[in-house]
Amino acid sequence: MNLDALFTLNCGMYILCSGTEKEPSGLIINALVQVTAFPNQVIASVNKESLTHKAIDRSGVFTVSVLERETPLQLIGLYGFFSGKNKAKFSNVKYFIGKTGAPVITEHSVAYLEAKMVSKLDAGTHFLYLGEVLEAEFLNPELKPMLYTYYRDVKGGKVPRTAATYHASPGEEQGVFDRYRCKVCGYIYDSRYGDPDSGIEPGTPFDDLPFQWTCPICGAQRDQFEQV
């Protein structure tokens, strides 16, 4: 069996939110699909260890923002690698309170939907929430949605960035590059591409990264990286 075959299934990058203005909760999910059109229903898979599934259970509603292709790693990291238990996830992001009373993230979002929970299935590590769509609208229709494969391979540093921000780096001809993997989240720093989301120019060797640089996704310190 080759589990990599499952990476050919299309998944997106979404911020799912629930709760209320007073007690907002949100996290990154990649498994979300529209399953019926009449009525309009989606299924969202939410990790049981998250606070957000408890917020869905309490409020009976959730919202989903579709992240755009060039969403900075820091935003993905904030909702993907930190728990609301020890990090304020809503203090520095743009959102509004939707008609369901739950927050809707607007920054770097192509579109959003709001749903009320219809039923819930226990899937082991995750709960699957079936929700009826009550609202859906574009936020930034000119942007392209990010696919999970793009996040994993390109933003995560596993294959070259094809993003518009990519420029050939000074070391390109000499072939002097280094690659370091974050032992916490798997992000790869590739000096060929730098870390544009953190203002690091292509061609910056790992050893020349500023002292205060941390993993753009999970915030790990540099000593948590190993050369690959």
Q: Which residues bind Fe ion (CB under 5 A)?
A: 182, 184-185, 187, 215, 217-218, 220
Taking the least distance from each CB to Fe ion, the nearer of 23 and 153 is 153
Rounded to whole angstroms, the Cα distance separating 167 from 205 reads 15
For residue 217, the minimal CB distance to Fe ion (Å) is 5
Query: What does the longest C-alpha to C-alpha distance in the chain come to?
Result: 58
Structure tokens of 43?
């299924």
Least distance to Fe ion from the beta carbon of 187, Å? 4
* For Fe ion, the closer CB: 28 or 182: 182
Closer to Fe ion by Cβ: residue 118 or 188: 188
Closest distance of CB 76 from Fe ion, Å: 11
Per-residue tokens: 24: 């907002």
Which is closer to Fe ion, CB of 36 or CB of 83?
A: 83
Q: Minimum distance between the CB of residue 135 and Fe ion, rounded to whole angstroms?
A: 34
CB 64 within 8 A of CB 54: no
CB 70 within 8 Å of CB 109: no
Half-sphere exposure of 163 (CA within 13 A, CB side): 24
